[in-house]
């Protein structure tokens, strides 16, 4: 099979509307806010095995969330969706109403396009081209934990975890060393979250 044929292949993943809405709303808080860095001004979607994951980073922090697929084994290749398009997708989901949380939503990938559809309503977006920073080694938990007397972080960054965490759910902070990234683990109402937060530099 040649490359051109492969690029036209259709990949799909199906998830619940409420799960996808929570996933995208949480991930977008960590994306770079401006279009001057197009690759970081995205949310990265991917599905393998049992989960759809969303990842975003602004260079100072990174977040990765996972929700269950409606049909296991669905594979969606890594897709960088611009923040402006994520907001359009969320508007589509919100338009279905809060009582439609269990409604199936299909995400379809073909070439450089992704479509999100539910109940006959759909949005199609052009993916951002580029290489996303490697992030999985930072989330795998292999870095040994250390005792830490002081950790300094940007409070506005940390405040986002309070918005994303589920009601009454704790936020766990794991220290890996002075000046090294802090691993943040917590649960939303429907999403399992892992995050990385860089400490602030003190002059």
Mean pLDDT of 97-117: 93
Cα(78)–Cα(197) distance, rounded to whole angstroms? Answer: 23
Check: CB of residue 139 under 8 Å from CB of residue 41. no
Evaluate whether 85 touches 41 at the Cβ level (below 8 Å).
no
Cross-strand bridge partners of residue 54: 45, 65
In the numeric block, the tokens 């594979």 are attached to 75
Statement: 3-126 belongs to CATH 3.40.50.300: no
pLDDT at 157 over 70: yes
Helix axis angle for 17-28 and 83-94, nearest 10°, is: 150
How distant is the alpha carbon of residue 32 from its chain centre?
Answer: 13
Residue spans per domain, the chain: 3-126, 136-197
pLDDT per residue over 65-87, tens digit each? 999 999 888 899 999 999 999 99
User: Would you say residue 163 has pLDDT above 80?
Assistant: yes
Average pLDDT, the chain: 90
Please, is 2 exposed, middle or buried when counting C-beta atoms within 10 Å of its C-beta (0-12, 13-18, 19+)? exposed
Query: Residue 183 and residue 193: Cα distance in Å, rounded?
Result: 11
**Residue 62 pairs with which residues in a beta bridge?**
57, 196
pTM for the complete prediction? 0.89
Instruction: Please name the residue that has the structure tokens 């396009």.
Output: 113
């Amino acid at each position: 099979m040649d490359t051109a044929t492969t690029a036209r292949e259709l990949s799909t993943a199906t998830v619940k509307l409420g799960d996808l809405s929570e996933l995208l709303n949480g991930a977008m808080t960590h994306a770079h806010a401006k279009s001057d860095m197009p690759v970081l001004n995205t949310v990265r979607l991917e599905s393998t095995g049992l989960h759809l994951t969303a990842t975003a980073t602004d260079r100072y922090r990174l977040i990765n969330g996972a929700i269950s697929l409606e049909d296991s084994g669905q594979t969606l290749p890594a897709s960088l969706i611009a923040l402006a398009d994520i907001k359009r997708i969320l508007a589509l989901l919100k338009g279905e109403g809060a009582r439609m949380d269990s409604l199936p939503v299909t995400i379809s990938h073909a070439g450089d396009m992704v479509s999100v559809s539910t109940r006959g309503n759909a949005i199609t977006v052009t993916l951002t081209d580029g290489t996303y920073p490697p992030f999985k080694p930072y989330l795998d938990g292999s870095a040994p934990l250390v005792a830490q007397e002081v950790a300094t972080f940007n409070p506005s960054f940390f405040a986002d975890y309070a918005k994303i965490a589920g009601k009454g759910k704790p936020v766990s902070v794991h220290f890996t060393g002075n000046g090294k990234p802090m691993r943040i683990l917590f649960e939303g109402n429907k999403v399992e979250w892992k995050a990385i937060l860089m400490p602030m530099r003190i002059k």
